[in-house]
Amino acid sequence: MSDIVVIGAGVGGLAAAVRLAAAGHRVEVHERAAEAGGKLAVFERDGYRFDTGPSLLTLPQVFDDLDLDLRPQPLDPVVRHVFADRTVLDSSSVHSVFLERITEALGEEAAEDWDRFWRRAKRIWQASWDAVLRRPVNAATLARLSWRLGDLAAIAPGRSLRSLGRTHLRDRRLRMLLDRYATYTGSDPRRAPAALAAIPYAELTHGGWYLPGGLGTLGDALAARCADLGVRVKLRSPVAHIEADRAVRGVRLESGEFVRADAVVSNVDASVLYRDLLPTPDRLAALADRSLGGFVLLLGVRGETPSLAHHTVFFPADYDAEFDAIFGSASRRPRPVDDPAIFVTRAEDPAVHPEGHEAWFVLVNAPRHGRDRSAVDWTRPGLADAYGRHILDVLAARGLDVRDRLEFMEIRTPADLTSAPGGSIYGTAGGLMRPSNQGPVKGLYLVGGSVHPGGGLPMVTLSAQIVADSIGPA
């Protein structure tokens, strides 16, 4: 039996702790915050309950062998798309149904294009699932993939998601729908790899799911499973640094206490690990390309809104202007997006709002927080409030005016996401090569959205599986 310390009680850390404890290890989790769950945070006010992190569960099967008490409910539509010309397109996890909806909204030619694209996306997904997403990525992995020329051609290294969309999709609205999936990894679709076409394929093949009570209940379920397995989860217990020579020896807490360990699993952002906990300049330098952030409104709303699905995205007329603003250029620094895509989550769940009211989670992509030329200082007085009001004005201009129905508005900016430097939700901007799950010293492992295989609940959970399999049974 080995002693294993997990740094961070996010989904990746808790999922790794569950797997390792079930494999017979003694596991202790140290979490800086007062609550477990990481980005699966919850905010409650006046009878409203908001998920302030993920709002959609995909690939629920990756949680099956964790033995959690989850009761996911399928969503239809998975997402409602409202375009600038007021066209509405509801996605579906049944491919034939989605094709019918595309035909009705955009025409037969658009549906035929999507069907052809879908066959390509399926190849990308199958190659990614078999060769990349459930395995450590290293030189040997890439060498194996290079011998499988069909898989390598499907993943299309060196090609962008935007290029793939323009090749297959003539209707610009479908291209915008595809571009949005780059933001699932915090990327610009003009630079994001074509392999990210696997994301819509996974979402629309395996479906989108909701957990009654909100996605925050997933964190509760993981914490409960840890308790059942004897995992010690210590909250308000920040780790100062990892002590190691050629192999890890344990961690030093900020209290000064040393905790011995045969292995350490880090669930903090990789840049924080390599900057503070185990300074490693060469690995830190590779993490400079940070993902975008998110600007969030939590709205208590009177009445009901039949035009909204569980998830509804309102697209702007010029999507490229959003990415120009977020990522900036050599001549112009990043700035809040004037006319952004707006993502609204509204759950028809009596557990999350008072009767006759709705709890809205409104998200727009935003530049990361910082005071250098590559970021926006979201703490600047008046900026957050003014931008929040602007987002409500934009929604009203697009046909959804909620300004006279508000009970309250709470604002979260990238500056509030302190667990990720600059509020970069996904760590490094999405690509095929994220930081490895194996650290630079023996016995150090990495999980979470900032490392392989990427951000999002299923990918984070797969990172825990990769690490647990690498460590093996006690």
Residue 256 is predicted with a pLDDT of 98
Say yes or no: 276 and 381 in one domain.
Answer: no
* Closest to 233 in 3D by CA, of 83, 15, 434, 438: 15
Listed in order, strand segments (DSSP E) in 149-260 are 208-210, 232-234, 239-244, 248-253, 258-260
* Alpha-carbon distance values, 283 to 39, 144, 435 (Å): 24, 24, 8
Note the Cα 268 to chain centre separation in Å: 15
Mark whether 340 and 410 lie in a shared domain.
Answer: yes
Structural domain span for residue 443: 3-39+212-288+429-471
Do 314 and 357 sit in the same domain of this protein? yes
Query: Of 387, 403, 423, which closes a domain?
Result: 423
Here the CATH number for the domain that contains residue 30 is 3.50.50.60
Q: Give yes or no: residues 145 and 163 share one domain.
A: yes
User: 2: exposed, middle or buried (C-beta count within 10 Å: 0-12, 13-18, 19+)?
Assistant: middle
pLDDT at 147 exceeding the cut of 80: no
Residue 35 lies in a domain: yes
Q: pLDDT tens digits for 341-387?
A: 999 999 999 999 999 999 999 999 999 999 988 899 999 999 999 99
Quick check: 265 and 16 in contact, CB under 8 A? yes
Q: What is the pLDDT, as a whole number, of residue 258?
A: 98
Tokens of 217: 């209940």
Q: Do 10 and 38 meet the contact criterion of CB atoms below 8 Å apart? A: yes
pLDDT for residue 188:
94
Verify that 383 and 300 share a domain, yes or no.
yes
Residue 65 lies in a domain: no
Show which of 206, 229, 251 is a domain's final residue. 206
- Are 264 and 356 members of one domain? no
Same domain, 418 and 302: yes
pLDDT for residue 140: 59
Domain closes at, from 145, 179, 206 = 206
Same domain membership, residue 160 and residue 234: no
At 133, the pLDDT band (50, 70, 90 cuts) reads confident
Residue 271 lies in a domain: yes
Question: pTM of the predicted model, to two decimals?
Answer: 0.94
pLDDT in tens, 270-303: 999 999 999 999 888 778 778 899 999 999 999 9
Same domain membership, residue 272 and residue 221: yes
Taking the C-alpha atoms of residue 432 and residue 410, their distance in angstroms, rounded to an integer, is 35
95 part of a folded domain: no
pLDDT band at 149 (very low <50, low <70, confident <90, very high): very low
